[in-house]
């Protein structure tokens, strides 16, 4: 081992010394390396080679934990130092080279998993990318359901009332070999649709929202026997009722009918078992989709959209001049009835309805109006909506004059791009994402206060609204969303198929 030359100081920047340090770290024991670094250069912990690598970078890459800790504790090595090639810190390198023991030590010494490289990748992002591409998910593939969150209302399906902070397998399906393709999670109950077309529900049964013929509470998902003779293709649900669509195009509803949202005639107070919706307006038409909000239900065919329930402005009709507050049977939304309009999909919240046509036009039904938000947003495969404000005059005891929430709309296209609109006063504006790199999504979920995305690579992201601002001092507002990586090591718990499954949950509050 050589001794540092007389002209070497604590501020040494010698590239030759840096190359010597990097070369030495590839061989020798950690004890020998500590001695060498202590004697060869007075600034061995800070020196960088031509690629911007430090001794800490190399120790993390090579798994030399004892040397790494010596550099941090005795030499005050810089945790945030980035190399020139990729902008990687020692933490990035320890993750990339699989040196988990070094990664743990770096985190204990204060390294942040959120630190980004030149391409905007954090350590967790890099870990997700560094693996073989997964097999493309198909709807027929085996799927497992994981749920987590508050479980006060037995809506998670785990057989008890304990809340879960982390994803946990709903084992009743795993034990019985049932594969789930759609999940709708509401405040008081959850609806599961299997690949074979069976419907399962759990939670509080008041009003018959579970469809089991009673008002009991069911802690684990139970099959809805009244639908066993049908192959169901889609489910929707809100706080007090459930809507089911069969492959034949029949619609069944059950639950409370306080606002005539079940569409049954004559209108009952509730339905404890599934009841088919009959209507002259639907005769000869094949229903292709269903959606539900707390106060209304939406059905659509290829040619038209039908709504029913409390008319607080979200049904697409004007306020009834005769004072009728509720639409008891499916009624066609005439504002969307045009010869060249074909309906692709719709979504509903408590105070709004969103419709997407096959041409990619996006419409918002709210405040007794039908507003066109966008044109030719082609290849949209999923749309979600939350919020909205209902006219308090239709039910002054239930609705407040100053009540309601901002309308938020998310749309996902086939390419994996996410589009968003959010209300700002009386206007609805398209949002811009405050995110440094392009990420393509495979699924989206939206609740009252948050949003969640799943990428094609199986990464999960949660989002929060960053606030409003004025551009160029104009009064035109815009909205941005800050997306942050989902912190738990979710991929260690669930498969890609499972991630895609839980993200299908529609969170109705």
363-387: pLDDT as tens digits: 999 999 999 999 998 899 999 999 9
- For residue 136, what pLDDT is reported? 63
For 251-260, 270-279, 412-421, which range has the lowest pLDDT when averaged over its residues?
Answer: 412-421
End-to-end CA distance of the chain: 69
Where is pLDDT greater, at 50 or 401? 50
Which residues make Cβ contacts (< 8 Å) with residue 182, sequence separation at least 6? Answer: 192, 193, 234, 235, 504
Residue with tokens 């030149």: 118
Is 4 a residue whose pLDDT tops 60? Answer: no
- For residue 246, what pLDDT is reported? 97
Of residues 37, 140, 53, the one with CA closest to residue 97: 53
Give the DSSP letter string of 87-130.
---HHHHHHHTT-HHHHHHHHHTT--TT---TTS--HHHHHHHS
Structure tokens at 87: 């902008």
CA-to-CA distance for 346 and 353, rounded, in angstroms? 7
Is the separation of the CB atoms in 248 and 185 below 8 Å? no
Is the separation of the CB atoms in 1 and 40 below 8 Å? yes
Question: What number is the average pLDDT over the span 120-145?
Answer: 74
- For residue 438, what pLDDT is reported? 72
- For residue 143, what pLDDT is reported? 85
Work out the number of other CB atoms within 10 angstroms of the CB of residue 318: 11
Name beta bridge partners: 411. 383, 419
Question: What number is the average pLDDT over the span 253-267?
Answer: 96
Rank 73-82, 216-225, 454-463 by mean pLDDT and report only the highest: 216-225
- pLDDT tens profile 301-329: 999 999 999 999 999 998 887 778 999 99
CA-to-CA distance for 302 and 286, rounded, in angstroms? 8
CA-to-CA distance for 508 and 189, rounded, in angstroms? 10
Greatest C-alpha distance within the chain = 99
Burial class (CB in 10 A: 0-12, 13-18, 19+), 7: exposed
Return the exposure string of 446-457: e unless at least 16 CB atoms fall within 10 Å of the residue's CB, then b. Answer: bbeeebbbbbbb
Is the separation of the CB atoms in 505 and 445 below 8 Å? yes
- For residue 497, what pLDDT is reported? 30
Structural domains of the chain, ranges and CATH numbers in brackets: 15-129 (1.25.40.20), 279-430 (2.130.10.30)
- For residue 320, what pLDDT is reported? 80
Name beta bridge partners: 310. 326
Question: What number is the average pLDDT over the span 325-338?
Answer: 91
Confidence of residue 261 (pLDDT cuts 50, 70, 90): very high
Question: What number is the average pLDDT over the span 429-438?
Answer: 74
CA-to-CA distance for 28 and 114, rounded, in angstroms? 33
Where is pLDDT greater, at 235 or 127? 235
Where is pLDDT greater, at 291 or 498? 291
Is 26 a residue whose pLDDT tops 60? Answer: yes
CA-to-CA distance for 157 and 452, rounded, in angstroms? 21
Average pLDDT, the chain: 84
Is 139 a residue whose pLDDT tops 90? Answer: no
SS3 293: coil
The values of phi and psi at residue 416, to 5°, are 95, 10
- For residue 141, what pLDDT is reported? 76
Packing angle between helix 100-108 and helix 55-62, nearest 10 degrees? 130
- For residue 484, what pLDDT is reported? 40
SS3 499: helix
> Which runs of E-coded beta strand occur in 125-229?
146-149, 164-169, 180-186, 189-194, 199-203, 218-223
Where is pLDDT greater, at 456 or 497? 456
Of residues 129, 164, 147, 172, the one with CA closest to residue 494: 147
- Secondary structure percentages of the chain, helix, strand, coil, to 5: 20, 35, 50
Structure tokens at 58: 């190399």
CA-to-CA distance for 482 and 443, rounded, in angstroms? 18
Confidence of residue 471 (pLDDT cuts 50, 70, 90): very low
- For residue 507, what pLDDT is reported? 34
Where is pLDDT greater, at 260 or 48? 260
- pLDDT tens profile 167-222: 899 999 999 999 999 999 999 999 999 999 999 999 999 999 999 999 999 999 99
For the four alpha carbons of 231, 236, 241 and 243, in that order, the dihedral sign comes to negative
Is the separation of the CB atoms in 379 and 350 below 8 Å? no
Give the DSSP letter string of 12-64.
---HHHHHHHHHHHTSS-HHHHHHHHHHH-TTTTT---TT---HHHHHHHHT-
Is 485 a residue whose pLDDT tops 60? Answer: no
Q: Which helix (H) or strand (E) holds 69?
A: helix 65-74
Let me know the angle formed at the C-alpha of 190 by 187 and 192, rounded to the nearest 5 degrees: 160
CA-to-CA distance for 325 and 330, rounded, in angstroms? 14
**Percent of the chain scored above 70 by pLDDT?**
87
């Amino acid at each position: 081992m050589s001794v540092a030359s007389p002209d070497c100081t604590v501020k040494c920047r010698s590239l030759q010394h840096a190359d010597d340090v990097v070369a030495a770290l590839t061989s020798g024991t950690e004890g020998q390396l500590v001695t060498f670094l202590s004697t060869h250069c007075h600034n061995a912990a800070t020196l960088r080679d031509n690629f911007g690598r430090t001794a800490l970078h190399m120790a993390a890459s090579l798994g030399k934990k004892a040397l790494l800790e010596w550099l941090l504790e005795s030499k005050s090595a810089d945790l945030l130092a980035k190399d020139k090639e990729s902008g990687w810190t020692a933490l990035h390198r320890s993750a990339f080279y699989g040196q988990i023991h070094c990664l743990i030590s770096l985190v204990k010494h204060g390294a942040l998993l959120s630190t980004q490289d030149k391409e905007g990748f954090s350590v967790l992002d890099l870990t997700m990318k560094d693996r073989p591409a997964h097999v493309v998910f198909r709807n027929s593939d085996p799927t497992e359901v994981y749920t987590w969150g508050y479980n006060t209302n037995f809506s998670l399906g785990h057989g008890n009332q304990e809340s879960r902070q982390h994803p946990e397998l709903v084992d009743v399906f795993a034990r019985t070999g049932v594969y789930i393709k759609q999940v709708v999670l509401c405040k008081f109950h959850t609806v599961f649709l299997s690949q074979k077309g069976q419907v399962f529900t759990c939670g509080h049964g008041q009003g018959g929202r579970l469809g089991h013929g009673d008002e009991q509470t069911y802690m684990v998902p139970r099959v809805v026997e009244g639908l066993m003779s049908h192959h169901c293709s889609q489910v929707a649900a809100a706080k007090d009722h459930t809507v089911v669509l069969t492959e034949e195009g029949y619609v069944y509803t059950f639950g409370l009918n306080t606002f005539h949202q079940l569409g049954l005639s004559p209108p009952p107070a509730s339905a404890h078992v599934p009841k088919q919706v009959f209507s002259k307006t639907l005769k000869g038409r094949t229903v292709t989709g269903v959606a539900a909000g707390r106060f209304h239900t939406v059905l659509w065919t290829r040619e038209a959209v039908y709504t029913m329930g409390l008319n607080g402005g979200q049904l697409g009709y004007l306020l009834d001049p005769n004072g009728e507050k509720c639409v008891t049977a499916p009624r066609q939304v005439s504002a969307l009835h045009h010869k060249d309009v074909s309906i692709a999909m719709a979504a509903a919240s408590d105070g709004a309805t969103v419709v997407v046509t096959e041409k990619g036009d996006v419409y918002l039904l709210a405040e007794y109006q039908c507003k066109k938000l966008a044109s030719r947003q082609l290849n949209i495969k999923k749309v979600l909506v939350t919020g909205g404000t209902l006219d308090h005059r239709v039910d002054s005891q239930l609705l407040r004059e100053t009540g309601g929430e901002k309308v938020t709309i998310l749309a996902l296209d086939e390419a994996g791009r996410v589009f968003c609109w959010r209300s700002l006063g009386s206007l609805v504006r398209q949002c811009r994402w405050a995110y440094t790199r392009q990420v393509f999504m495979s699924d989206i979920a939206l609740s009252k206060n948050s949003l969640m995305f799943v990428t094609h690579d199986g990464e999960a992201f949660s989002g929060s609204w960053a606030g409003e601002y004025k551009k160029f001092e104009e009064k035109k507002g815009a909205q941005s969303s800050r997306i942050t990586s989902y912190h738990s090591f979710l991929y260690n718990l669930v498969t890609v198929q499972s991630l895609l499954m839980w993200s299908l949950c529609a969170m109705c509050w």
